[in-house]
Amino acid sequence: MATNRDREDEQKRVNYVIEEINQKAEDLYSKSKGLKEDVIHLRKTFWEDVTVNLDEPDDVIETQASIKQQAELLTEREQSHGKIDEQLKTLKRLKDSPYFGRIDFIESGEQDAEQLYIGISSLMDRDEENFLVYDWRAPISSLYYDYSPGKAAYETAEETVTGEISLKRQFIIRQGLIKGMFDTGITIGDELLQQALGNNASSTMKSIVATIQKEQNKIIRNERSNLLIVQGVAGSGKTSAALQRIAYLMYRYREELNPENVVMFSPNPLFSSYISNVLPELGEANVRQTTFLNYLRDAISEKITIESPFEQMEYVLTGKADANYSARMESMDYKSSVDFMQVLDNYIVELEDEGIRFKNITFQDRILISKEAISKYFYSLDPAISIPNKMEHVSKWLLKELRIHQEEEKEKDWVMEQVELLDKEDYLQAYYQDQDQDEDITMEEDILRKEIVKRFFARIKKQVKQYKFVNVLATFYKMYTDWHPVGSVPANWKLISNLTAESLSKRYLTWEDATPYVYFRGRILGDNSDRSVRHLFIDEAQDYSAFQYAFLKHIFPYTRMTLLGDINQAIYTQVTKENPLVPQKEVRNYERITLTKSYRSTKQIVEFTSDFAPGEELIEPFEREGSLPKVVQADHSEITSMLVHQVEKTQEKGNETIAIICKTLKETEEIYNAIKENISVTMIDEETYSFQKGILVLPTYLAKGIEFDGVIIPNASDQFYRAESDRTLFYTACTRAMHELILIVEGEPSPFIGEVDENKYEVQ
């Protein structure tokens, strides 16, 4: 165990490291100041230092070279200033807490132990000779996360280094002072975790590098797997580990990986905001973050409305009175399967012979090239050529045809009318842009006519290059009206087809149709797969359907994927029959890591929720004590006052962020309107991109991945949570709580509460 003398020595070292940080920061600041002055001076005098002469061709070349040289000098100074600025930010973070761990490692064949201090970034002494702190991502730092004192080893790019750890020590350092220090074994010490987890919830996720566990470290440092599946119970730190994994990969492959090469799909914009702080905290730029919904919207690039997954969920939960409800549910289930992808593939095969719909190419309300002519040309091409390649041939043919029409239009009266509307600047620009102009002034009209028509036709040519002449929506619509699928389809297929056709006629895609439409569009026009994406991270992967997952594998065939999720929280139950988190037998080089320990909630909350967890995954509570969850009985007339009372009581205990989590958006709006006059409360919907601490009211599906000091379920009765399909919603809502969980019940409690041992909660 560490002694008082050890603590004094360690504090002296912290003081020494901070002195080194201050000295380095001072040196960098001086450099930065000089560079900033250089940049300002270069910007001010840019044109003074450039030789401008445009009289002769040789002078023009010299002028261009002079501008390029001056621009390169300015860019180099700006980049240097930017790098120093980043280094200063890192030093500022280190100054508060230079490191969080120490290991003494005796390498095999050596006598003396080397003291290794681990922090969020590497730090060398002012002579740049010795490491004062090792970056947590460095190969040698894996010793801290993976081993207890005793035999140990770590991998470098060239070899495996073996040896022995003689000491493993952890620190809590704040503002340069050691607040806690203890020697520990293989797992990161409970004391450090207790302090980290006992704090209040934040409006943004925090970095967990000081408390990474061995299993999380396996996720972070995995470099082998093409597919890494992480099944983690609620609060197991899977998202945090994924973000540290991104930071690790950016560090490990710094020369070849940049933020544009990494994409992360988040469940909703609120969650994207919640995790936006983690990578910058670790000194890395944020990677490309989007939701799958926004990805599909961008891919469609047409004026088509897409139903969001949250709107679909609302329909599932509240639309039972709709006459077409059962058909829509069957449609969701079927269109979420890989069987439906096969149906689309069969339809596309038939389109190779006939059936693709095209659009007329028009100009000034006149048809220049008819859709029939385009179709005839398309189907005259060699059948062996793929559909997207044929579209490329058609595009080139159309551009050629348009050049002929452009030449014909040049002589028409409307062109001269447009010439007369040109202002002086446009007139001169049009005249001098023509490189083949003759000195003869009689050529002037011809040049200007040519330029006007070229401008008018530019928009049409751009649309042709974007394949806007293909009517993808009409071709997709035809599948539901004029085509009979081969193979097994649902019994209600005719009704499903009619409902789908009705939506498509309004240029509206339901959520279950959105991915199939984008897939179909790609098979017709060619996929816009982003070859630059090297790593794809999918959070809440359990909510992706088999079709959506197959689509992503199709779009990103050479991309390494990391899937994160929890089968227990699969709230889109109608589309999770083939869950991407289950073992992937057909994928080569994949690994599945299971995180069973829940760190978010107190032991009492974890033990309560484990009794009605939907899956069979083992859930282990972390030994952090708290109060028992409370089941509070209330009459209908008391619900509002009881809610306000429970919020106030929870606040009195020091809880800053309290979430009232409802089943649906409809219930969320009702609760918000009922209590907003009594307490300061914020309602969260799918358009909310960030939140502050305080009292929040929101539906379950927007709370995924986020944690709160206290959670109140405003109606935990069997009226609201009774069906088996409600189990994942109820479980997800309850597991958002860190310290306090309160369930208000009107009438009979939910049967899920009935599955819990009565000793695990308190009735009021």
pLDDT digits (tens, 9 = 90+) for 135-163: 988 999 999 888 888 999 998 878 999 99
Query: What is the DSSP code string of 538-559?
Result: ETTGGGS-HHHHHHHHHH-TT-
**Is pLDDT of 199 > 50?**
yes
Helix axes 472-481, 493-505, angle to 10 degrees: 150
Residue 286 or 745, more confident = 745
Residue 758, φ and ψ in degrees, nearest 5? -60, -20
Is 688 within any annotated ligand binding site?
no
CA 305 to chain CA centroid, Å, is 22
Query: What is the DSSP code string of 720-734?
Result: TS-SGGGHHHHHHHH
Tokens of 344: 């689309």
Query: Which of 205-209, 418-422, 468-472 shows the highest mean pLDDT?
Result: 468-472
The pTM is what? 0.82
- So what's the pLDDT on residue 358? 97
| Range scoring the smallest mean pLDDT among 259-273, 393-407, 547-561 | 259-273
- So what's the pLDDT on residue 511? 96
| Range scoring the smallest mean pLDDT among 203-207, 382-386, 498-502 | 203-207
Strand extents, DSSP E, 16-121? 101-107, 114-119
Q: Is 675 exposed, middle or buried (CB count within 10 Å of its CB: 0-12, 13-18, 19+)? A: buried
CATH of domain 603-763: 3.40.50.300
96-106 mean pLDDT? 91
- So what's the pLDDT on residue 45? 58
Rounded CA gap, 317 and 18, in Å? 57
Is 641 within any annotated ligand binding site?
no
List pLDDT tens digits, range 583-594.
Answer: 556 667 888 898
CA 591 to chain CA centroid, Å, is 21
Residue 461 or 194, more confident = 461
pLDDT band at 215 (very low <50, low <70, confident <90, very high): confident
Question: Do 700 and 662 contact (CB within 8 A), yes or no?
Answer: yes
Residue 537 or 277, more confident = 537
Question: Do 131 and 103 contact (CB within 8 A), yes or no?
Answer: no
- So what's the pLDDT on residue 441? 45
Residue 179, φ and ψ in degrees, nearest 5? -95, -25
List pLDDT tens digits, range 693-751.
Answer: 899 999 998 888 888 999 999 999 999 999 888 999 999 999 999 999 999 999 999 99
- So what's the pLDDT on residue 210? 61
Is 303 within any annotated ligand binding site?
no
CA distances from 400 to 91, 388, 393, 468 (A): 60, 19, 11, 16
Which amino acid is it at 49?
D
Percent of the chain with pLDDT over 90: 46
- So what's the pLDDT on residue 353? 93
- So what's the pLDDT on residue 203? 58
Question: Do 335 and 504 contact (CB within 8 A), yes or no?
Answer: no
List pLDDT tens digits, range 436-471.
Answer: 444 444 466 677 777 777 888 888 999 999 999 999
CA distances from 540 to 178, 405, 553 (A): 37, 53, 17
Percent of the chain with pLDDT over 70: 83
List pLDDT tens digits, range 305-346.
Answer: 999 999 999 999 899 999 999 999 999 999 999 999 999 999
175-192 mean pLDDT? 69
Question: Do 657 and 707 contact (CB within 8 A), yes or no?
Answer: no
- So what's the pLDDT on residue 608? 95
Is 237 within any annotated ligand binding site?
yes
Q: What share of the chain is helix, strand, coil (3-state, %, to 5)?
A: 50, 15, 35
- Domain extents in the chain: 209-289+529-598, 361-466, 603-763
**Is pLDDT of 574 > 80?**
no
Is 239 within any annotated ligand binding site?
yes
- So what's the pLDDT on residue 146? 85
CA-based nearest residue to 665, from 687, 711, 698: 698
Give the strand pairing for 177-183 and 160-174: antiparallel
247-255 mean pLDDT? 87
- So what's the pLDDT on residue 689? 77
237-257 mean pLDDT? 87
CA-based nearest residue to 437, from 427, 447, 426: 447
Give the strand pairing for 305-306 and 508-509: parallel
Rounded CA gap, 135 and 132, in Å? 10
CA-based nearest residue to 120, from 241, 282, 248: 282
606-625 mean pLDDT? 88
Is 234 within any annotated ligand binding site?
yes
Question: Dihedral (C-alpha) 294, 300, 304, 310: value to the nearest 10 degrees?
Answer: -30
- So what's the pLDDT on residue 575? 40
Rounded CA gap, 644 and 631, in Å? 15
Is 82 within any annotated ligand binding site?
no
Q: Do domains 209-289+529-598 and 603-763 have the same CATH topology?
A: yes
| Start-to-end C-alpha separation, the chain | 45
Question: Do 562 and 264 contact (CB within 8 A), yes or no?
Answer: no
Give the strand pairing for 123-124 and 681-683: unpaired
Number of other CB atoms surrounding residue 387 within 10 Å: 18
Q: What DSSP designation does 381 have?
A: S
Rounded CA gap, 592 and 264, in Å? 19
Rounded CA gap, 57 and 55, in Å? 7
- Report the topology of domain 209-289+529-598: Rossmann fold (3.40.50)
Tokens of 551: 């689509």
Please state, rounded to an integer, the average pLDDT across all residues of the chain: 84
Is 233 within any annotated ligand binding site?
yes
Question: Do 540 and 584 contact (CB within 8 A), yes or no?
Answer: no
CA-based nearest residue to 296, from 616, 48, 21, 514: 514
